[in-house]
Amino acid sequence: MRWVCIVLPQLALDAVLRASSEPEAPLALITGTAQRRVVQAVNDAARELGLQAGQSLTTALALSRDFTQVEYDHGAIARWHQFLAAWAYSFSSQVSLRYPRALLLEIESSLALFGPWPRFEARLRSELTALGFRHRLVAAPNPVAARMLANAYDGLAVSDSQMLHEVLARMPLNRLGLDSKTASALARMGLRTVQQVLALPRHTLAKRFDAGLLLHLDTLLGQRAVALECYQPPEQFEVRIELNFDVESNQALLFPLRRLTADLAAFLAGRDSGVLGFVVHLEHVDGSRSQVDVGLLSAEREPNMLFDLARGRLERLLVQSPVRAVSLQAKDLPAFVPEHRELFDERPQQSVPWQQLRERLRARLGDEAVQGIQAHADHRPECAWQATAGSKPPLLGDSPPRPGWLLSEAQALRERAPQILAGPERIESGWWDGGDVRRDYYLLLTRSGQRVWAYRTVSQDEPGPFMVHGWFS
Amino acid sequence: MLPTPLSLADAAVAGNVVSLESLLDRRRVWKGRAMPQQAGHIATGHATLDALLPTGGWPEAALSEILLNAPGVGELQLLWPTLARLTAAGERVVLVAPPGIPYPSAWLAAGVDLRWLSIIQTSGRDALWATEQCLRSGSCGAVLSWPQQADDRSLRRLQVAAETGQTLAFAYRPLKEAVNPSPAALRIAIDTQPAQLRVLKCRGGLAPAMPVPLAR
């Protein structure tokens, strides 16, 4: 058992349904030329109305008018196929998109990490269901057999070639993925199952059919290796959801937003990377676009957190005109480094780690609201600090006592004759960068008992008023 | 479990011996319950203050209120030893809406590791919200807040958040709020003339009447 095939029987429909907030409503995918519109796929609710795949749109409309029509989009199907490959990449490094609407995964090497096959299978199924895709799963010793068995089975796990022979022997020939000419020729010869074909002498088969049949049978049975092209995850993430109605409120945008961020998280988990920033574009009816930038300070990939941050930014945006489509772009995808955690947390209720809290604060209060502070070697008080969290404190020489609080702008002292406790201390610096200061600093005690750090600008004339620049707290 | 003067007088008037049980049954006697002793405590770093407080330091996982009339009266000196110890242990300290910029050299001189210090610049209701978020998260060692208008309700929220997140919470408020009741576990007023600390309220015991001189 080395390969798993995941068949997505209604990929196109699921891709539309998962973006819709009412998946239970009747829906039909329409394709074909402008002259002849044909129903390509329908969901369960639409089927109950009598709609079927292959009907012409006129027939469908004659049967009922209460269903939503969505254009069958080949580009979207290819994109979702790629997206699911990115998701599958989190389970296996060998993912192949050789067959349309199907994924092939090598799992032998993944079993050690994800547990025995039943548990692994349950996980694959639950994640696919959460992502909103219907699926059939088959595990088999080789990829071609897995794909072909998935035509007839769901949940089958074939462990060795002995069992593969038995299962394949019972397979009907029309489910085997043979080309139609060979299949019909075999059917006309009265052959129905693989067993009957294998019972025939090989050289007669080679004589009557082209080499493709024997080649296919050999690869199915694992007697001939097959080379697969492996999927390489893309460097960036981009998904667009087209809404099939106009959305005018922020609240209604939350559903597609949750899908988008969850998809981003699934993609990031597959690449084992985090996201440092992403952009949500809202495409309006009138063709204009609004943009919501979400920036993070450290790489993250937790789906709920990404959603909360995007929601925080989105709620501050005023939606001017109805929205037709929402897209999410993420380009900055550095490697994800999980946060270092103690084995025994000192605080039992440490529920929100600091990084997450900081992002939450920044999302509501603004990017500049949360700061660290760092010393900067400059004599001028206003230059002696930097609003960044430094990695290493710089070495500061001994200096006279400095106040605990510094005012961003000096204020005039209201009192006339405060008591001078210490000073003056001359600070004269900055002639080289234009911020020239010449001040005498004093430690003052006001009548109300405040200890104030105030200065007088040194000048030729009489001394100026005391300017409060800090408080000794 | 002594009878109150009232019940003693009752017994004397009645002129007979009243059994203790019947007094207890009639709910005439107030029984002092032993307060559950706080298991851990966080020393303030000021020995005289520690000795006065029933918890032997800051009340753990609770809100402490510091009342002052203006900045520059020693409100940071009171906390610097605690902050220095917390940051040295790698605990994060958050200042929410501080009245000024922390002067790095002064904070470094007090022993505070600035790498663990975070400042949130905000005001009004957002300051209370941010304080509550920080307290509730449990990822901070101490949260210092300067709320502009904090009513009884919002202080109670902070107190509950401090309990939830097991975090030290400090709220700096104007001295005139001293007359209003507060849900904080500890209330300390800073007087300037003379420079002293008055404990107005402390959970787990009576507030000591004696003020603590504050060395400036």
In terms of domains, do B98 and B4 share one?
no
Indicate whether B171 pLDDT > 90: yes
Instruction: Tell me the three-class secondary structure of B16-80, residue by residue.
Output: CCCCHHHHHHCCCCCCCCCCCCCCCCECCCCHHHHHHCCCCCECCCCEEEEEECCCCCCHHHHHH
Domain-located, residue B40: no
In terms of domains, do B177 and B81 share one?
yes
In terms of domains, do B13 and B109 share one?
no
Torsion of CA B13, B16, B22, B28, to 10 degrees: 20
Interchain pair B103, A473: CB under 8 A: no
Domain-located, residue B77: yes
Q: Are B196 and B78 in contact (CB under 8 A)?
A: no
Return the H-helix or E-strand segment holding A374. strand A374-375
Measured distance CA(B159)–CA(A95) in Å, rounded: 53
In terms of domains, do B55 and B89 share one?
yes
Interchain pair B139, A393: CB under 8 A: no
Provide, as residue numbers in chain B, all residues whose Cβ is less than 8 Å from the Cβ of A370: 118-121
Instruction: Tell me the three-class secondary structure of A235-272, residue by residue.
Output: CCEEEEEEEEEEECCHHHHHHHHHHHHHHHHHHHHHHC
Q: Which of A8, A2, A58, A3 is nearest to A28 (CA)?
A: A58
Provide, as residue numbers in chain B, all residues whose Cβ is less than 8 Å from the Cβ of A393: 108, 113-115
Q: Which span out of B16-20, B167-171, B178-182 was modeled with the highest average pLDDT?
A: B167-171
Measured distance CA(B212)–CA(A366) in Å, rounded: 41
Domain-located, residue B170: yes
In terms of domains, do B14 and B62 share one?
no
Mean local confidence (pLDDT), B25-46: 65
- Compute the radius of gyration of chain A from its Cα atoms: 34
Mean local confidence (pLDDT), B196-201: 88
Q: Which residue bears the tokens 């390489």?
A: A232
Strand partners for B75? none
Nearest residue in A to B76, CA atom: A473
More confident: A392 or A328: A328
Percentage of residues of chain A with pLDDT beyond 90 = 13
Q: Return mean pLDDT, chain B.
A: 82
Domains and CATH numbers, chain A: 3-25+67-220 (3.30.70.270), 237-332 (3.30.1490.100), 403-471 (no CATH)
Interchain pair B73, A352: CB under 8 A: no
If pLDDT is split at 50, 70 and 90, which confidence band does A397 have?
Answer: low
pLDDT digits (tens, 9 = 90+) for A210-225: 888 899 999 988 888 8
The predicted model scores a pTM of 0.54
Interchain pair B139, A373: CB under 8 A: no
Domain-located, residue B129: yes
Range of the domain at B158: 47-213
Domain-located, residue B124: yes
Task: Work out the burial of residue A102: count CB atoms within 10 Å of its CB; fewer than 13 is exposed, 13-18 middle, 19 or more buried.
Answer: buried
In terms of domains, do B56 and B122 share one?
yes
CA-to-CA dists, residue A223 to A98, A164, A218, A471, B155, angstroms: 19, 12, 5, 84, 75
pLDDT digits (tens, 9 = 90+) for B65-109: 999 988 888 889 889 999 999 999 888 999 999 998 998 888 888
If pLDDT is split at 50, 70 and 90, which confidence band does B33 have?
Answer: low
In terms of domains, do B7 and B78 share one?
no
Q: Return mean pLDDT, chain A.
A: 85
Interchain pair A352, B136: CB under 8 A: yes
Indicate whether B11 pLDDT > 60: no
CATH number reported for the structural domain that contains residue B168 in this entry? 3.40.50.300
Q: Are A138 and A149 in contact (CB under 8 A)?
A: yes
| Total count of domains within chain B | 2
Indicate whether A28 pLDDT > 50: yes
**Residue B31 has what pLDDT?**
66
Q: Which span out of A200-204, A354-358, B55-59 was modeled with the highest average pLDDT?
A: A200-204
pLDDT digits (tens, 9 = 90+) for A112-143: 888 889 999 999 999 999 888 999 999 999 99
Measured distance CA(B214)–CA(B216) in Å, rounded: 6
Neighbour count for residue A81 (Cβ, 10 Å): 19
Predicted ipTM of the assembly: 0.78
Domain-located, residue B102: yes
In terms of domains, do B56 and B22 share one?
no
A453 min Cα distance to partner chain B (Å): 9
**Residue B39 has what pLDDT?**
44
pLDDT digits (tens, 9 = 90+) for A420-449: 888 788 888 877 877 788 888 888 888 888
Helix (H, G, I), strand (E, B) or coil at A22: coil
Provide, as residue numbers in chain B, all residues whose Cβ is less than 8 Å from the Cβ of A390: 114-115
In terms of domains, do B4 and B106 share one?
no
If pLDDT is split at 50, 70 and 90, which confidence band does B119 have?
Answer: very high
pLDDT digits (tens, 9 = 90+) for A281-330: 998 888 888 888 887 777 788 888 889 888 888 887 777 788 888 899 98
If pLDDT is split at 50, 70 and 90, which confidence band does A346 have?
Answer: low
Name which of B92, B133, B139 to mutate to probe chain A: the one with the most chain A Cβ atoms within 10 A of its Cβ: B139
In terms of domains, do B26 and B64 share one?
no
Neighbour count for residue A229 (Cβ, 10 Å): 8
Q: Which of B16, B75, B10 is nearest to B46 (CA)?
A: B75
If pLDDT is split at 50, 70 and 90, which confidence band does A347 have?
Answer: low
Domain-located, residue B142: yes
Interchain pair B134, A357: CB under 8 A: yes
In terms of domains, do B53 and B6 share one?
no
pLDDT digits (tens, 9 = 90+) for A170-185: 998 888 888 888 889 9
A304 min Cα distance to partner chain B (Å): 16
**Residue A19 has what pLDDT?**
78
**Residue B97 has what pLDDT?**
92
If pLDDT is split at 50, 70 and 90, which confidence band does A350 have?
Answer: low
Domain-located, residue B94: yes
